[in-house]
């Protein structure tokens, strides 16, 4: 996975710096799970690599994004029961989830060309999710793909006179249709914040 992330970073940087109508970004993502009854701890282990290409009107862009987030939490002694009631496990647990959304994106910029460009956007695509429960020497896992959607808002900030680089700050809500039999959930959702750098415009 690290090799894939590094390759994507190099591709986005090289592509974005070759033209004046596109840019790339790399951000640090902080995620807060919102619909899990076993994962409630904030994840600080997340990031995003993104490419955006301006359309004919420079107040709109289309692009691609690749995110990743890791969640981990200790759960004190309790009982987890399978949804069909066929089995139950009681004990201390360590819960983990690894989230990877891959999305096509569209953004609208309210003050295109200014030093501060507020924007709203939407991402649609697929999400890979690994969910694991560790107890004693055993582990229960559920890994699958699902549909993903991400409305977001934020701003591009260009502190200098040139727009070769800048800052990105944003907030978003992520929805994934990933199901899991571990805790009888039909989706995985989270609220997130991201901050990083943009380059190549």
Report the domain count for the chain: 1
Q: Is it the case that residue 40 has pLDDT exceeding 80? A: yes
Please give the angle made by the CA atoms of 101, 105 and 108, to the nearest 5 degrees. Answer: 140
Question: What pLDDT, on a 0 to 100 scale, did the predictor assign at position 67?
Answer: 95
Residue 14 has pLDDT above 60, yes or no: no
CATH number at residue 71: 2.40.160.20
pLDDT at residue 183 in the model: 65
Looking at residue 141, its pLDDT comes to: 85
Residue 22: pLDDT band (50, 70, 90) is confident
Which pLDDT band, with edges at 50, 70 and 90, does 6 fall under?
very low
Among residues 59, 174, 175, the alpha carbon closest in space to that of 107 is found at 59
Rg (CA), the chain: 19
pLDDT tier at 182 (50, 70, 90 boundaries)? low
Q: Map residue 49 onto helix, strand or coil.
A: strand
The string over 103-122, giving b where at least 16 C-beta atoms fall within 10 Å of a residue's C-beta and e elsewhere, is bebbbebeeeeeeebebebe
Which pLDDT value is given to residue 126?
96
Can you point out the beta strands (E) in the chain? 22-33, 43-54, 60-81, 88-109, 116-135, 138-157, 165-176, 188-199
d(Cα 188, Cα 36) in Å, to the nearest integer?
7
Q: At 129, is the pLDDT very low, low, confident or very high (cuts 50, 70, 90)?
A: very high
192 vs 3: which has the higher pLDDT: 192
Q: What is the pLDDT of residues 133-159, one digit of tens each?
A: 887 777 878 899 999 999 999 999 998
Winning range, highest mean pLDDT, from 26-40, 84-98, 145-159:
145-159
The sign one gets for the Cα dihedral 7, 178, 44, 79 is negative
Reduce the DSSP state of residue 55 to 3 states and report it: coil
Tens of pLDDT, residue by residue over 94-125, are 888 999 999 999 999 998 778 899 999 999 99
7 φ, ψ (degrees, to nearest 5): -60, -45
Most confident stretch, 83-87, 91-95, 100-104: 100-104
Lowest pLDDT segment from 1-10, 85-94, 118-127: 1-10
Range(s) of the domain holding residue 98: 2-199
Average pLDDT, the chain: 83
For residue 4, pLDDT beyond 80: no
């Amino acid at each position: 996975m690290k090799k894939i992330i590094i390759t994507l970073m190099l591709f986005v940087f090289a592509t974005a710096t070759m033209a004046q109508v596109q840019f790339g970004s790399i951000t640090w993502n902080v995620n807060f799970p919102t619909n899990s009854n076993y994962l409630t701890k904030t994840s600080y282990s997340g990031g995003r690599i993104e490419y955006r290409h301006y359309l004919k009107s420079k107040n709109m862009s289309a692009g691609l994004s690749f995110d990743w987030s890791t969640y981990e939490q200790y759960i004190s002694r309790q009982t987890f029961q399978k949804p069909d009631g066929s089995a139950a496990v009681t004990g201390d647990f360590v819960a983990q989830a690894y989230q990877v959304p891959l999305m096509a994106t569209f953004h609208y910029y309210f003050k295109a060309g200014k030093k501060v460009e507020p924007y709203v956007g939407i991402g649609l695509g697929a999400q890979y999710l690994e969910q694991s429960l560790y107890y004693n020497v055993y582990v229960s896992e559920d890994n699958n793909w699902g549909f993903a959607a991400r409305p977001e808002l934020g701003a591009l900030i260009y502190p200098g006179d040139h727009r070769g680089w800048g800052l990105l700050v944003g907030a978003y809500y992520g929805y994934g249709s990933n199901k899991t039999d571990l805790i009888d959930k039909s989706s995985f959702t989270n609220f997130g914040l991201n901050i990083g750098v943009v380059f190549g415009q």
